[in-house]
Amino acid sequence: MDEDARRNMRPLSLHVPEPRFRPGDAVDFADFDIPDVAAAPRPDIGAMPEEMRSLAYGLVRVLDLDGASGGAWAPRLSPERLVAMLRHMALVRAFDDRMYRVQRQGKTSFYMKCTGEEATSIAAAYALDRDDMCFPSYRQQGLLIARDWSLVDMMCQIYSNRGDRLKGRQMPIMYSAKEASFFSISGNLATQMPQAVGFAMASASRGDTRIAACWCGEGSTAEGDFHSACTFASVYRAPVIINVINNQWAISSFSGFAGAESTTFAARAVGYGIAGLRVDGNDALAVYAATEWAAERARNNFGPTLIEHFTYRAEGHSTSDDPTKYRSAEERSAWPLGDPIARLKQHLIAIGAWDEERHAAMDREVAEEVKAAGKEAEKQGVLGDGLHQPFTTMFEDVFEELPWHLEEQSRQMVEERKAAGI
């Protein structure tokens, strides 16, 4: 092409995603389309992925915004089970609030809350079997709490104290609990996705009955590990549930940088030939129903499911983050799908199984439970109290049998510390 022709061409431009609202902006979600609870059909668990494409673009809902339930996805759960689910969600929020405060008091270095996202882990845990293997990201503390894991044990890990089962080797909140079928959390984004698929493939190849479930944020779907996981899950029809928590924001960038302007995150499933569901993540009943459906699909060898949980991160990314620097302060209160705890509470009140007095009493009870656990955990130390684990543990828990050169280094270290009077 000659230079004259090139000069007459329109110059290329680059699109840079921009969030709808920035700090100081008035927030208006008036154009937000909330589908009716009856809009999403519930396919058979053996349906082919191409038969349910619409579910990757709609929104599976059970609870309307007035607390009534309905639609094809409505699960048959007893009021007692719903109250138990509500209590666990409230317990997660109380746990988060206390751990946030102790970080601000200097008792630990770091914490991440899941405020507004409690249903995506609690309701999912209720729909899974106790021994189904969970591969979480760093905002799924609700999985452990729903499985009645010790709050003291979780707090000891956060404090990296003498009671820390991980011996101070992990960042705070990166729990690991094999007995709870809870895989070690990693700070590297999306590494848990291929690990979950690998576990599911191994389970299937052994003829086992355990399925796997993994969680990541919407931003992590841009990682190569996510796409590798989807490829293997699709090709081998691995019995796995891939959960994408679309909470609208990464640490300082909105979901558009991961592709939200172009399509839904559930639509990632379409290209891989995986069943895809887009779910109201602030609707505990919808999360339960979608997870139960996906689990049954996996158990019956019909393959994986990708679930996008459409929710909202109500607070900062972590204690190191200030969301007021990049988003409008009005977003949290204006979010059109509300608060997951308030919505489940409203439903229980609507069916006559709950009331404001019992809810207030429950909030006091879980706050006291968390407070008591905190006092117990702090007896074993907090950040800044010095070395909590014996120095020799740095050589342990990697090899089944310690190699000779590490044994030699360990002896040398002990002798040098003894000579130095340490």
Percent of the chain with pLDDT over 70: 100
Hey, what's the torsion of the CAs at 61, 63, 68, 69, to 10 degrees? 60
Hey, what's the torsion of the CAs at 155, 158, 163, 165, to 10 degrees? 110
Cβ atoms of 114 and 146 closer than 8 Å: no
pLDDT at position 34: 95
263 in a structural domain: yes
Does 394 share its domain with 249?
A: no
Q: Which residue has the tokens 């020799």?
A: 392
pLDDT digit string, tens, across residues 234-278: 999 999 999 999 999 988 889 999 999 999 999 999 999 999 999
10 Å CB burial of residue 19 (0-12, 13-18, 19+) is middle
81 is catalytic: no
CA distance 174 to 154: 9
Most confident segment among 159-168, 346-355, 385-394 = 346-355
CA-CA distances (angstroms) from residue 105 to 101, 164, 323?
Answer: 6, 20, 20
Cβ atoms of 354 and 345 closer than 8 Å: yes
pLDDT at position 1: 66
Does 342 share its domain with 411?
A: no
CA distance 142 to 147: 8
3-state class of 279 per DSSP?
Answer: strand
Average pLDDT over residues 344-360: 98
317 is catalytic: yes
Is the per-residue pLDDT at 299 higher than 70? yes
Cβ atoms of 359 and 345 closer than 8 Å: yes
Structure tokens at 251: 């640490």
Does 368 share its domain with 407?
A: no
- In whole numbers, what is the pLDDT of the chain averaged over residues? 95
Q: Running DSSP on this structure, what letter comes out for residue 133? A: E
pLDDT at position 212: 98
Does 59 share its domain with 171?
A: yes
**Selected catalytic residue, list 61, 313, 327, 343:** 313
Give the confidence band of 8 by pLDDT, cuts at 50, 70, 90. Answer: confident
Percent of the chain with pLDDT over 90: 91
Does 135 share its domain with 211?
A: yes
**What is the model's pTM?**
0.95
**Selected catalytic residue, list 169, 326, 332, 358:** 326
2 in a structural domain: no
Out of 15-29, 122-136, 303-317, 383-397, least confident range: 383-397
pLDDT digit string, tens, across residues 185-219: 999 999 999 999 999 999 999 999 999 999 999 99
14 in a structural domain: no
User: CA 17, 61, 342 angle in degrees (round to 5)?
Assistant: 90
Average pLDDT over residues 116-122: 98
Does 186 share its domain with 66?
A: yes
Cβ neighbours for 79, distance < 8 A, ≥ 6 positions apart: 348, 351, 353, 354
pLDDT at position 391: 83
User: Domain of 126?
Assistant: 32-322+330-378
**Selected catalytic residue, list 88, 139, 309, 317:** 317
54 in a structural domain: yes
8 in a structural domain: no
Q: How many folded domains does the chain comprise? A: 2
157 in a structural domain: yes
Does 309 share its domain with 395?
A: no
CA-CA distances (angstroms) from residue 228 to 195, 216, 221, 224?
Answer: 10, 14, 11, 6
51 in a structural domain: yes
CA distance 288 to 265: 19
313 is catalytic: yes
pLDDT at position 388: 78
Give the number of other Cβ atoms within 10 Å of residue 51's Cβ. Answer: 13
pLDDT digit string, tens, across residues 337-351: 999 999 999 999 999
23 in a structural domain: no
Average pLDDT over residues 142-160: 97
- Looking at residue 264, which CATH number applies to its domain? 3.40.50.970
Does 197 share its domain with 263?
A: yes
Does 280 share its domain with 409?
A: no
Does 117 share its domain with 233?
A: yes
Does 158 share its domain with 268?
A: yes
CA distance 416 to 422: 9
Does 182 share its domain with 303?
A: yes
Q: Running DSSP on this structure, what letter comes out for residue 242? A: E
Is the per-residue pLDDT at 384 higher than 90? no
